[in-house]
Amino acid sequence: MSLGSKVLATLCIIFFLYLTLEASLQRFVTGPSFKELEEAEALRDMKRVLTSLDTEMEHLDTLCWDWSAWDDTYAFVADRNEEFVSSNLEFTTFRDSNTSMICILDTDNRVVFGRAYDLATNERILPFLIPESGQFPETKLIPESGPQDRVLTIISTHQGPMLVAARPILTSLDQGPSRGTLLMGRFLNRDLAETIALSSQVDVHFLAATPPALDALSFHSTSFREVGNLRLTEPLLATGGQEELLQISTVLVDQDSTPVVRVTAFIERNITLKGKQALRLTFLTAVAGGAFMIMGMALLIHMGIIKPVQILTNHVEQAGQGQDKAFTPFHRRDELGILSREYAKMQQRILDRSKALKESEAHLQAVLDSIQAGILIVDEETGILTDMNTFAVNFFGKKREEMIGNICSLLVKGLSLASCPFCSSSDSQPVEVDLSREGRPRHILKAATPLSRGGRKYSLQSFVDITLRKEAEKRVRDLSRDLIRAQEDERGRISRDLHDNLAQNLNSVGIALQTLFDDTNETTDERMAKTSRLVQVLNDSISEVRDLSYYLHPPEIDRKGLVAALSAFCRELSEKHALVFEFHHQGPEPQHLDKEVAINVFRLAQEALNNAIRHAEAGKVVVSCSIADKFLRLSISDNGKGFDVESPSINAGKKRHMGLQSMRERAEILGGILEITSSPEQGTVIVAQVPI
């Protein structure tokens, strides 16, 4: 992307962020303020509705008080005068006072008079407040007997919500004693709702608090507030599914906090609609102004900055392609002028240093070619050979052009990229690598050093040819094998001589001494004791000679094989020493095992067990022998005190650790490996694995 495009993109992003900020402020700050104003207005409208409803209840209470504090009513409770009913309690009274129910009770809460009308149809009805039994059931609607005592509430009836006012029946002077209670009720019907809507100037609806109405309002309140004589839940605001209307609802409850009627008011959202129009116009004005500003800034930046930078960039690209055309600085006094002049100076310095660098590279290449060691530089990611010196070219016997640029595994026939020793820089210490192919021995000693050029990782591989040294080491091993074979042959001969000659002779001497004085009576007790001691010495000598014969060449190896010899040797050691020696054999019996392999494995086990007896201080030694995949595996483990395998004295091969060195040499002579695992107080495990 060009600088001009980046500048234009940056300006557009800044403008977009500005518009986003403007829109966010309108959405989350200005817009909600309009909503808060509307909600506050809705709460005020709901309060006016509730105030109008409370006013209607006060009118009902005033009418109830006027009738209850009247001598005629006071007398009627006592004498049940029918003339009072016909004169004052007919339908016209209910209609003119807009009262739906009048009920007169005596002091025992028995109904003296009770009548109710549906003023919409002029029909007489029987609400549940006037029971047929004559006993008034709703004692919570009965006030105390004082002149100021009253009950003013809203209740639920079968015919719908009803406003109820109750007063004690007193004389016209508000004096007692009270002769009962006067209750008046007015249904909260459509006429009353229209009256309230007209007086409050709010579109309000009243709905009986049935379960569907409460579910729609999610009624679950346990706390209530009071407005005048009304007890209600906190008003709840909602859009009501119509964006242009705001809906506010509450639930009126009776004295027992039982829902009676749901009050819902609808308010037009004029504030939000007008506010949105104003915000939309403001936003469009900001977009238009910002677009003109971006165009002006883009033109100014292009002429004053981008175009000079493009000229400088083109010259830099030409210099990168090897063109040495001189650069003419800008005749300006600002930062771009300073940059152009400094670039012209830098270009000249680069040309001078490039010449010196080429001379230095030629000198370095001459030094590398004179080193009698191979040097390769390999890309670690791709395995491609990027450079090599003359020694490496001669070592691999190919042309430099054929090798450089190809993967390094092609240097040696048969190598794959995964097994190529030149593809990694992890070998910081010198390691030996076998590159022998098709019967031609080739060995090198190599080390790797990580390099980094231009952000890429390379590996500098240095190596020397050690083929002649490896061949000399092989000849030494062959000579050592021949020497050990000669030693074993000599030991076998000595063993046979000791057993067949010396042991037989000593045995004959012992027998002769035992029978020396059998036929004479001149033998004294002292001579007999001396003879017995001599016999014991001879027997001990015979035993020692036999042990020496077994140690030099155990006969079980020739007669029964390696497994039997190891088993017998472990049994013999268990009898002679205070140690437990266990022998385990897994897998098939070795058939036609080479004599050299058998005797060397036995000598290795013999040396390990003797070390355990002398140094391990163990209580138990386990010997395990197994054959699998043309390899013989011998394992000797003990639970002794162990030792530090990495100790310098052990690795240096001091005299008291020559046994370990001897075991390693025997394993190497057989072409196998020897692993020793041990640590202080953790016991020792020796594992030898040789091919068969």
User: CA 344, CA 348: separation in Å to the nearest integer?
Assistant: 7
Residue 374 — very low, low, confident or very high, per pLDDT cuts 50/70/90?
Answer: confident
Helix (H) or strand (E) holding 641, with range, is none
Answer whether 0.75 is exceeded by the pTM: no
Percent of the chain scoring above 70 in pLDDT: 82
Helix (H/G/I), strand (E/B), else coil: 462: strand
Q: Please indicate whether residue 608 or residue 414 has the higher confidence score (pLDDT).
A: 608
Helix then strand count (H, E) for the chain reads 20, 22
* Cα-based distances in Å from 230 to 49, 56, 255, 341: 11, 11, 10, 88
Strands in 35-168 per DSSP E: 101-105, 111-118, 123-125, 151-157, 160-168
What angle, 0 to 180 degrees and rounded to 10, lies between the N-to-C axes of helices 270-301 and 31-68?
Answer: 170
614-622 long-range contacts, CB within 8 A, separation 24+: 615/640, 615/643, 616/640, 616/641, 616/642, 616/683, 616/684, 617/641, 618/579, 618/683, 619/579, 619/580, 620/579, 620/580, 620/582, 621/579, 621/580, 621/581, 621/582, 622/582, 622/584
* 371 token code pair: 């080193």
Q: Rank 40-44, 82-86, 289-293 by mean pLDDT and report only the highest.
A: 82-86
Residue 165 — very low, low, confident or very high, per pLDDT cuts 50/70/90?
Answer: very high
Residues 6+ apart with CB under 8 A from 11: 294, 297, 298
Mean pLDDT of the chain: 80
Residue 166 — very low, low, confident or very high, per pLDDT cuts 50/70/90?
Answer: very high
With a cut of 60, say whether residue 656 has pLDDT above it. no
What angle, 0 to 180 degrees and rounded to 10, lies between the N-to-C axes of helices 595-611 and 467-497?
Answer: 80
User: Is the backbone peptide bond immediately before 235 cis, with ω within 30 degrees of 0?
Assistant: no
pLDDT at 451: 81
Residue 211 — very low, low, confident or very high, per pLDDT cuts 50/70/90?
Answer: low
With a cut of 60, say whether residue 688 has pLDDT above it. yes
> Is residue 686 within 8 Å of residue 676, measured between CB atoms?
yes
pLDDT at 649: 60
Query: Quick one: average pLDDT of 253-257?
Result: 81
Bridge partner list, 458: 379, 451
Query: Quick one: average pLDDT of 607-630?
Result: 89
pLDDT at 655: 47
* 437 token code pair: 């192919």
pLDDT at 515: 62
User: CA 521, CA 676: separation in Å to the nearest integer?
Assistant: 66
Q: Please indicate whether residue 648 or residue 677 has the higher confidence score (pLDDT).
A: 677
pLDDT at 241: 47
Residues 6+ apart with CB under 8 A from 631: 672, 689, 690, 691, 692
Structure confidence by residue, pLDDT tens digits, 502-556: 666 666 666 656 665 655 555 567 667 767 776 776 776 676 666 666 666 677 7
Q: CA torsion 54→58→61→62, rounded to 10°?
A: -170
* Rg of the chain (C-alpha set): 59
With a cut of 60, say whether residue 273 has pLDDT above it. yes
Structure confidence by residue, pLDDT tens digits, 39-57: 788 888 888 888 888 898 9
Residues 6+ apart with CB under 8 A from 205: 193, 263, 264, 265, 266
User: CA 407, CA 302: separation in Å to the nearest integer?
Assistant: 49
Question: Measured between alpha carbons, how far apart are the two ends of the chain, in Å?
Answer: 70
Q: What is the DSSP letter of 656?
A: G
Helix (H/G/I), strand (E/B), else coil: 451: strand
* Cα-based distances in Å from 115 to 74, 102, 162, 184: 18, 6, 14, 10
* 652 token code pair: 């240096």
Helix (H) or strand (E) holding 77, with range, is helix 71-79
> Is residue 637 within 8 Å of residue 622, measured between CB atoms?
yes
Q: How many CB atoms lie within 10 A of CB 61?
A: 20
Residue 313 — very low, low, confident or very high, per pLDDT cuts 50/70/90?
Answer: confident
Q: What is the DSSP letter of 142?
A: -
Of 56-65, 124-133, 141-150, 557-566, least confident by mean pLDDT is 124-133
With a cut of 90, say whether residue 460 has pLDDT above it. no
Residue 496 — very low, low, confident or very high, per pLDDT cuts 50/70/90?
Answer: low
Q: Please indicate whether residue 69 or residue 15 has the higher confidence score (pLDDT).
A: 69
**Amino acid at position 553, single letter:** H
Residue 486 — very low, low, confident or very high, per pLDDT cuts 50/70/90?
Answer: low
